[in-house]
Amino acid sequence: MRINKYISETGFCSRRETDRLIEAKRITINEIVCEPGDMVAPGDVVLIDGKTIPKKADSVYLLLNKPVGITCTAAPHVVGNIIEYVNYPIRIFAVGRLDKASEGLILLTNDGDIVNKMMRSENAHEKEYWVTVDRPITDDFIEKMANGVEILGVMTKPCEVISMNDYEFKIILTQGLNRQIRRMSKALGYKVTKLERVRIMNLTLTGLERGAYRELTNEELKLLLSSLREG
């Protein structure tokens, strides 16, 4: 295996950064300074700055029931950012976003591959929300929400929308435009007063209290990864 691929797969740094380390003569293979294109064989000792490469952290997959007021960013200067809120001992990041005023399910992980797969809108992964609005829902509102609403200069994709009572509806999206449900509702003359995500693909809020998080079960992770492969 080429040295830059070998090091990138440890999670220490990217192939491009590995190439920079090679140019700076900071990598050795079996005590010999590495050259571009060098290969690594099983049993070889690879050092960076004379030190062994840290072991790649195990993959972590967490479900958080995000409360209102928490911002889905890793930026440390943002008060109430989701990373400080969870305070997990290793580096993780949120998959997608829920705006500050919204609550409910969000996935956090250190697995960049799963993030890329879940963020590709063309994979049509379902996300289910329960929404409360400020005035009685009509059949016309439900029909228009389901068939598509023009926001941000585009028409939203058709989706499943079901009235739950006079002021609440369920909506299942397969795309993720910025503040999509709020913007769709506003375009039709409604204001969202509460928005909760209750499902992401096969993952649900069941049994998860507001503000709490837990690891995915083996069964949940297996089904999630299988669905992503199919997508």
| Catalytically active residues, by annotation | 99
Residues 62 and 109: beta-carbon distance below 8 Å: yes
Name the token pair of 164: 């739950």
Residue the block writes with tokens 């590995």: 18
Give the C-alpha separation, 121 to 52, whole Å: 39
The one-letter amino acid code at 90 reads I
Strands 103-109 and 192-200: parallel
Residues 208 and 214: beta-carbon distance below 8 Å: yes
Give the C-alpha separation, 86 to 212, whole Å: 9
